[in-house]
A and B are shown apart, each in its own frame.
Chain A
Amino acid sequence: MREYLPILIMILVGIGLAGVFTAISILFGPKLSTETKQTPFESGFLTQGTEGQRYDVKFFMTALVFLVFDVEVVFLYPWAVQIRELHWPGLIAALFFISVLVLGLVYDWKKGALEWE
């Protein structure tokens, strides 16, 4: 586990740098806040309604499709690394697995889950 420590330090350094930037902005930036400045940007029009309305179901569909494919890709990694040892039996098993994956893709495609028009 020792070799994972530098990655943790790296993440902390990254967060630290961004934190320093934010602190600089808070410290040195002038504070001349007015009512108009605080309103969210809307192309110069007055703000209408609030955010957090309904959004397109396609984003939700994309998240679902992502979940399926990303998890299945993760299952393939161990096989990819060990492919020479597993040889033909491993390949046939993996091809079966991938064909199920492709079937899923075809199903999504036919059902229109990938359409964005």
Chain B
Amino acid sequence: MQLVLEFLALPFVQDVLKILFILLLFAMPLGTFMTLMERKWSAAVQDRIGPNRANIGSYRGRGLLHIAADALKSIFKEDLIPKGADKFLYTIAPFFSFMSAVAVFAIIPIAGPIGDFKFQVTDVQPGLLFIFAITSLGVYGAVLAGASSNSKFALFGGTRASAQMISYEVFLGLSLMGLFMVYGSTQVSAIVEGQGEHWFGLIPKWGVFTQPLGFVVFFTALIAETKRAPFDAPEGESEIVAGYFVEYSGMRWSSFMLAEYIAIVGVAALITTLFFGGYQVPWLYHWESAPQWLVTLLQFGKFASFTFIFCWFQIQIRWTVPKFRFDQTMALGWKKLLPVALLNTVVTAIIIVALA
């Protein structure tokens, strides 16, 4: 027993446990659930019933079994590599997509710290900047997949994806500038800590209230980064079929799809953490005698429910807003979001310096 406790106290073991927890028990299950929820919710929006046929005997679980059915189906699909494709690049392209989708969760705190123990995989000082540096490698996933498939449609998709993703990265970084100013740090724990305070003991100091413009730009840029509708010109089902991963099949294709749905969860978790107080439960400080375990549980509940709401919100956006043409996507970015983000930065800076 003693030995087990000592083993669990090792920093390296704790890191691995935290990573396995947040990936295998939070991000991946929620991501796979999103695949079903997207279909179910799109059905609800279009007044259909949606998938409900997969069954074990008479048990159908309201379509839940479709997740397992999908997985089984893609496992036993033929693994095709088109003629003339660059096999090595073709194989490693999904790795980039998957890695960049997963890396976000390294800095997301899912509950408040207890003493020295943080419910966060790591709390590096450059925080968000470091993570954006890694997630921007996701561009390679789309570009390599497009370039290595030896297919014109894939190449079109890959080229579009590269232009769109690098463009929206600029606005992504710029929209957070105001947030860094308000909370005076790029470290995620400091930003979340700062959002735990209240104005007049009433309104929580969430990022969405201190940086409303930043929130809009950031959310838009993140949706464009995940290449989801309304910014899905790189995947454009109606013109270039599936864009950069048109030649992929079986589990290789699944890793692209799963990466996309994990990225949805990642986006929701980032929005919650940066603009909706993360794990901070508003007004909880009034209840001073609350037991620690209950506080932690409430914090995790708040974080998880907000994350789920924003996952749903992204799906709702996809099935509500008509998609942009590619030139409209780029024009929206460079001609609207960029000036707005710059203006937001300047105005925030002037207000903060004037008040300091």
Contact = CB atoms under 8 A, between A and B. Distances in A.
Nearest to A11: B99
Contact of A9 (B19, B75, B91, B129): B19
A111 interface: no
B346 A98 contact: yes
Interface in B162-189: 162-163, 166-167, 169-170, 173-174, 177-178, 180-181, 184-186
B76 A30 contact: yes
B181 A114 contact: no
Contacts of B321: none
B23 A13 contact: yes
Contact of A28 (B18, B76, B100): B76
Interface string A49-89: 00110010011001101100110011011001101100110
Interface residues of B, number: 89
Contact of B102 (A14, A42, A63): A14
A15 B159 contact: no
Contacts of B177: 73, 76-77, 80
B98 A66 contact: no
Contacts of B152: 40, 42, 51
Interface residues of A, number: 67
A10 B78 contact: no
Contacts of A59: 159, 162-163
Interface in A8-37: 9-11, 13-15, 17-19, 21-22, 24-26, 28-33, 37
Interface of B: 11-12, 15-16, 18-20, 23, 74-84, 91, 94-95, 97-103, 105-106, 121-124, 129-131, 134, 149-155, 159, 162-163, 166-167, 169-170, 173-174, 177-178, 180-181, 184-186, 241, 246-247, 249-252, 254-255, 258-259, 326-327, 330-331, 334-335, 338-339, 342, 345-346, 349-350, 352-353, 356
Interface pairs A-B: 5 shortest CB-CB: A116-B327, A40-B151, A25-B251, A14-B102, A29-B79
Interface of A: 2-7, 9-11, 13-15, 17-19, 21-22, 24-26, 28-33, 37-43, 51-52, 55, 58-59, 62-63, 65-66, 69-70, 73-74, 76-77, 80-81, 83-84, 87-88, 90-91, 94-95, 98, 101-102, 105, 108-109, 114, 116-117
